[in-house]
Structure 1
Amino acid sequence: MNGMDFWMLISRLIVIFYTAFLFVSADRLYTPYAVLFLLLYLSLGIAVCMIRPPAWRRGITLLALALTVWLSVRGHPAFLFLLPPAIFAVLAEYPVHRYMFCLFVFLPFLFIPYGDLPAYTVITLFCLAIFVLAARSNDRLKKYEEQSDSMRSSIEKLTKQLHSSTEYIKQSEYTGKLEERNRLSQAIHDKIGHSMTGALIQMEAAKRMLSSHPEKAADLLQNAITISKEGIEDIRITLKNMKPPAEQMGIHRLRTFIDEFSAKNGLPVPFTYRGDLDRLTQMHWRVIQENVTEALTNTMKYADATQISIDIHVLNKAVKAEVKDNGNGAVRFKKGLGMLGMEERAAVLRGTVIFDGTAGFSVTTLLPIE
């Protein structure tokens, strides 16, 4: 049952009670037939609310209207009061130009006795008000349903695009790995493989000439040693070029962690860095990331902050990593295992950690740079 059916049924019930009262108070001889028709009229109204196929609904409403008109003409005049709900029920099933067809509900004014005209006018206006309010409410509900369906369709489309993007990223990463493996294999084959093969050939030749031409064999061995050294140097250069710098590894890991933390907790986390990051070693980055992680965790637990900022500044003799929030702060605080752990990690590199709770809370890690 939708909103329109509910309010139309309510208007029918009210009019039915009023009509039944008229029969009971004015014409007791006709009361049994009136009760029979009123029950039939109410049953048809309930049936419309329970049936879904539009053709059946329209047929039942037209049947109720036809019976009401027939009984109004051939039966008791009080049945005229049932015409407005029946007409509006038909209009509810034919929504095209429904407000224009509402004029038909005023046609019975030409045939109603003058004494019943005020009551019929009140009933008509009452049903009209309910019909207009129910129609607007139903139209608004349909509009919201269409918007909901549109949003659901958009969400499904975005979800599919997200899955496609995720698969594309995975495929791109896998393709990149394959390309890097192919490049490494080709570099080993072109440079190192040829060098090792040349050295091996000269060592085999030196082995054969060792007894008959020892000086020539020594020259071949020296050439093989030189070629082997060059091959080893090529290996070292190739591996060095493959290994990313500590600065790229450290800043990339830290930035990835900060982005994940911000997205997970819904907090903006501005991240800035200054200075020559190439001077930082893997140990520096490890201590910085673990201390930043611990500081962010403590902020989410205790600070009740709405914003967190992270700043890394490489100075001449040290690096400073600061995590600051705009939370409650604490002038006096007791160092727990997390704070003690941050100090211990910094002490390994002869560094220190400064805690300040005067304006929000900040954790500053200072590490010396050799």
Structure 2
Amino acid sequence: MINQLLLTRYLLLLVPAIASMYLETYISNDSYALFVLLFIGLIEMRRTRFPNTNWMLLLEIACTGWMSYHFKGVWFLSFFSTLLTYVPKLNRKQQFIAILLQLLVLNVSLQNQPAMYFIFANVMFGTIAILSFQLQRMKKNKDDVELLYDQLRKQHYELDEARLQLMDYARKVENIAQTEERNRISHDLHDDLGHKLIRIKMMMEASLTILPSQPSKGTEMLRSVRDQLGESMELLRSTVRRLKPNKHSLQSYSLTTLIDELTRENAIDIELDIQGMPYELYPSLEYILYRNAQEAISNAIRHGTATYVLITLQYAANQVTMGVSNNGTRQMEPTVKGLGLSGMEERIKVIGGQLYISNDEQFTVTTVLPAFRHNEAN
């Protein structure tokens, strides 16, 4: 873009310089060529040595007006070359002042020139000024778009980083909770069961020692050992039961449980189709699938008066996909996301999932979650 502007600038200098030699008759072509070279030298000095100085701009405008007034011809075209240089760099106020000054010098330099030159020069000057402003605006818009894109990309990276940190934090919390529970159970086994077993061992050794000489007392000690063994076995059973989660907690967010509850409470037929090889999911993923299925089925009953719902649960290596479709009334208008759909979308975005809504043959809500397996967290 810069090379093209530079080429256009010098063409607008060389073309009038060469054309004016054929349109006008000068006393000395050598003097004319010298002034042209000096003028081009001034232009080059401003471009390379003083690119952002306003006094060099004023000097160029004055020299351009002098060349156009003195040598006539089509030297007024060089005004357009100067116009291209300051519009992208100056602020609005400076642009307005420079354009008015250049337009004034342009019209003064065209004295004693044909009227057609006045009209052509002013129309061309206004056209190029407007085009320069449009190019400047397009460049600014492009820069704004690129800046916005960079910010969005940065926020996307930050969101991915936050999601990964959240998932890592969830794994650590679960591991810490499991470690604390294991430590508590190990302390219970050591403090209660361990001490009981040590005491039972000592009592059995004592009973074996006194049994030949004092049968009655030895038998009584053996009965005490038997009773304490029973207590120890009961303590061991209760500890094992605490290690194993209860059935309700295992099935609280099960899709099968959800289907049974909704089928029992509503006159609706719900079918579950599992595709792929199922594997154990992280509890947060099971919770999201449960809540999204619950919300999708509730919307199908409430808004679509559906009588049949199909839940398709597909297990893949990298993701888990759940589609909930129904035979209810389809909306012809574009789907408006209410609190339910918005809540589903916010819920899955936390872990990097996606929500798709289709209203083709059947209204279908599809939840796509990354395949984060429960056994990977341990």
Corresponding position of 1:135 = 136
1:121 alignment partner AA: N
Cα distance in 2 for partners of 1:323, 1:112 equals: 82
Q: Is the contact made by 2:207 and 2:218 (CA closer than 8 Å) also made in structure 1? A: yes
Residue 180 of structure 1 deviates from its aligned partner by 1.6
Cα distance in 1 for partners of 2:129, 2:18 equals: 21
- Asked if residue 234 in structure 1 is aligned to residue 258 in structure 2, the reply is no
Cα distance in 2 for partners of 1:11, 1:129 equals: 17
Partner of 1:93, secondary structure, is: coil
- Asked if residue 58 in structure 1 is aligned to residue 55 in structure 2, the reply is no
Residue 56 of structure 1 deviates from its aligned partner by 6.1
Deviations 1:76-134 (A, max 9, x none): 23434312431441232223534433322222123431524223212311221221111
Partner of 1:292, secondary structure, is: strand
- Asked if residue 73 in structure 1 is aligned to residue 70 in structure 2, the reply is no
Deviations 1:258-277 (A, max 9, x none): xxxxxxxxxxxxx943349x
Residue 246 of structure 1 deviates from its aligned partner by 4.4
Corresponding position of 2:208 = 207
Which segments of 5 or more consecutive residues in structure 2 lack a partner in the other structure?
A: 263-270, 279-291, 298-308, 313-323, 327-360, 363-378
Deviations 1:157-187 (A, max 9, x none): 3233223323322221221121121121122
- Asked if residue 274 in structure 1 is aligned to residue 269 in structure 2, the reply is no
Corresponding position of 1:367 = none
Corresponding position of 1:126 = 127
The one of 107, 118, 127 equivalent to 2:104 is: 107
Residue 236 of structure 1 deviates from its aligned partner by 1.4
Q: Is the contact made by 2:204 and 2:221 (CA closer than 8 Å) also made in structure 1? A: yes
1:157 alignment partner AA: E
Q: Is the contact made by 2:86 and 2:95 (CA closer than 8 Å) also made in structure 1? A: no
Q: Given the superposition, is the C-alpha separation of residues 64 and 96 from structure 1 closer, same or farther in structure 2, using an over 3 Å criterion?
A: closer
Residue range with higher mean Cα deviation, 239-248 or 202-211: 239-248
| TM-score, scaled relative to structure 2 | 0.58
Q: Is the contact made by 1:62 and 1:90 (CA closer than 8 Å) also made in structure 2? A: no
1:273 alignment partner AA: I
After TM superposition, list the pairs within 5 Å mapping 1:206-225 onto structure 2. Answer: 206-225=207-226
Corresponding position of 1:85 = 81
After TM superposition, list the pairs within 5 Å mapping 1:278-357 onto structure 2. Answer: 292-294=274-276, 323=311
Q: Given the superposition, is the C-alpha separation of residues 192 and 56 from structure 1 closer, same or farther in structure 2, using an over 3 Å criterion?
A: farther
Q: Is the contact made by 1:11 and 1:127 (CA closer than 8 Å) also made in structure 2? A: no
Q: Is the contact made by 1:308 and 1:326 (CA closer than 8 Å) also made in structure 2? A: no
2:91 alignment partner AA: P
Cα distance in 2 for partners of 1:274, 1:126 equals: 75
Cα distance in 2 for partners of 1:308, 1:43 equals: 72
Point out which structure has higher relative CO (alpha carbons under 8 A, 6+ apart): 2
Deviations 1:215-247 (A, max 9, x none): 111111111121112111211121112212345
1:33 alignment partner AA: A
Corresponding position of 2:178 = 177
Residue range with higher mean Cα deviation, 112-121 or 246-255: 246-255
Q: Given the superposition, is the C-alpha separation of residues 98 and 39 from structure 1 closer, same or farther in structure 2, using an over 3 Å criterion?
A: closer
Cα distance in 2 for partners of 1:141, 1:226 equals: 86
Cα distance in 2 for partners of 1:127, 1:41 equals: 24
Cα distance in 2 for partners of 1:17, 1:38 equals: 16
Cα distance in 2 for partners of 1:106, 1:68 equals: 10
Deviations 1:38-61 (A, max 9, x none): 99489959x96xx9xxx86436x9
Q: Is the contact made by 1:206 and 1:217 (CA closer than 8 Å) also made in structure 2? A: yes
Which segments of 5 or more consecutive residues in structure 1 lack a partner in the other structure?
A: 256-270, 277-287, 297-306, 312-320, 328-358, 361-370
Cα distance in 1 for partners of 2:64, 2:100 equals: 22
Counting helix residues as a fraction of each chain, which structure ranks higher? 1
Residue range with higher mean Cα deviation, 209-218 or 29-38: 29-38
- Count of aligned pairs between the two proteins: 276
- Asked if residue 158 in structure 1 is aligned to residue 159 in structure 2, the reply is yes
Partner of 2:259, secondary structure, is: strand
2:79 alignment partner AA: L
